[in-house]
Amino acid sequence: MTTDHVWGNTGKREQEESRAWIELNIGHLKQNIESFQSMLPHGCKMMPAVKAEAYGHGAVPIARNLQSVGVTDFCVASVEEGVELRKEGISGKILVLSYTPRGAVYKLSDYNLIQTVVDKEYANMLMETGIKLKVHIGVDTGMHRLGVWWEDTEDILEIWEKENLTVCGVFSHLCVADSKRTEDMKFTRTQIDRFNQVIETLRRAGKKDFAVHLQSSYGILNYSQCNYDYVRPGIAMYGVLSKKGDWVDTEISLKPVLSLKSRIECIRDLKAGEGAGYGLDYTAERDSRLAVLSIGYADGIPRNLSKKAFVLCHGKKAKIVGRICMDQMLIDITDIKEALPDDEVVLIGKSNNTQIYAEQFAEWAGTITNEVLSRIGGRLERIVV
């Protein structure tokens, strides 16, 4: 099924009314999906990670738009995220990747969500609830986070026998697929081998009709020859790498889906020597003009971007100065004479022919894009462009 229909707020009005907002380029999202499909073995399906509001992009607009290009199954982190998607009419398979507390297990069944079995004890707990559930068994192939240890196939088979649990998938997670150090590549190979052995053993024990999946973004990009039923792309599907310069072993052009924008709220002229902001942390070295932007750390802007980072205003770079506030921040626009109140300012994305990539933004903040993106947007409008 393919349609060109785009889901989400698409009006100019939302954009005009917002003090700060996220723009979603759905064309880029679709291109990234097509790129994965062209790299992966024929028949391999997508189960994108739309947890944490689809890494800040908005779980509902992302899932709906993916649905319109035939991507119907999704991974989320929590049962609540799954419930939200169901309430918004997402009808495909939804896998909850992490633990659901005992008290919320009924929601898995009420909303037809698939739960991950994070270990044997957890399977016992799920069994004790007596609630009929669909599950995927997580297998720990070396990351030592979630999953039944790969050698404990007896335990996996035991979980299969639990009366109220229907096992419809088995998966694992790679933890160094982004690294091309020899020992890391060797470790990933080991994880893949262990996973294959588990699947072999299960098949030999007569288990069939279960979905198998292993790769997230870097597993897709660097180990695309793996041939399982699903892949679970997250960060790369949003057109972004975790870090600038990360190893990508394929010719793929990822297109960023998200832009982050705000507005100039007001403009202040300072004489040389005058200070601005909390702590008067900024001092004008020359007669300066500052713009106050209507976005701050409560919108997910890392407070430590101050002094290191710039934003784009009329396609020109403006340095972030002073301390970032909860709802505002200051930029130096002394050399951008055309800047006026209500003008758009770009924090991530393109302004005329200049672009700030999420990878750069994350580097300024001293972290990875996954973290900065998943933290933005609690208070921002999301607009499809």
Ligand X SMILES: *Cc1c(COP(=O)(O)O)cnc(C)c1O
Q: How far is the CB of 151 from ligand X (least distance, A)?
A: 20
| 336 CB-near residues (< 8 Å, 6+ apart) | 313, 314, 316, 318
Task: Compute the distance between CA of residue 313 and CA of residue 352 in angstroms, rounded to an integer.
Answer: 9
Which single residue brings its beta carbon nearest to ligand X?
A: 234
Residue tagged active-site, from 87, 244, 278, 308: 278
**Closer to ligand X at the Cβ: 30 or 136?**
136
From the number of C-beta atoms within 10 Å of its C-beta (0-12, 13-18, 19+), residue 243 rates as: middle
Residue tagged active-site, from 30, 51, 93, 261: 51
CB 349 within 8 A of CB 258: yes
Q: How far is the CB of 76 from ligand X (least distance, A)?
A: 10
Task: Compute the distance between CA of residue 241 and CA of residue 19 in angstroms, rounded to an integer.
Answer: 28
**Closer to ligand X at the Cβ: 191 or 306?**
191
Q: How far is the CB of 48 from ligand X (least distance, A)?
A: 8
Q: How far is the CB of 253 from ligand X (least distance, A)?
A: 17
Interface contacts to ligand X, rule CB under 6 A: 49, 51, 97, 173, 216-217, 232-236, 370
Q: Hey, which residues does 212 pair with through a beta bridge?
A: 170
Q: Hey, which residues does 133 pair with through a beta bridge?
A: 165
Which single residue is written with the structure tokens 């288990």?
207
Q: Give the CA count within 13 Å in the CB-facing half-sphere of 98.
A: 9
133-140 and 114-117 as β-strands: parallel, antiparallel, unpaired? parallel
Q: Give the CA count within 13 Å in the CB-facing half-sphere of 131.
A: 21
Amino acid occupying residue 65: N
Amino acid occupying residue 356: I
Task: Compute the distance between CA of residue 201 and CA of residue 193 in angstroms, rounded to an integer.
Answer: 12
Q: How far is the CB of 86 from ligand X (least distance, A)?
A: 20
**Closer to ligand X at the Cβ: 216 or 334?**
216
Task: Give the Å distances, CA to CA, from 33 to 40, 139, 174, 243, 258.
Answer: 11, 26, 21, 20, 15
Q: How far is the CB of 268 from ligand X (least distance, A)?
A: 40
Task: Give the Å distances, CA to CA, from 129 to 135, 148, 164.
Answer: 14, 20, 9
- Tokens (6 digits) for 339: 């800047």
Of the candidates 103, 104, 95, 102, the residue with the CA atom closest to the CA atom of residue 134? 95
**Closer to ligand X at the Cβ: 177 or 318?**
177
SS3 content of the chain, % helix, strand, coil (to 5): 35, 25, 45
Q: How far is the CB of 221 from ligand X (least distance, A)?
A: 9
The answer to whether 218 is a known catalytic residue is no
The answer to whether 308 is a known catalytic residue is no
150: helix, strand or coil: coil
Strand residue runs (E) in 25-142: 45-46, 74-76, 94-96, 114-117, 133-140
Q: Catalytic residue numbers?
A: 51, 278
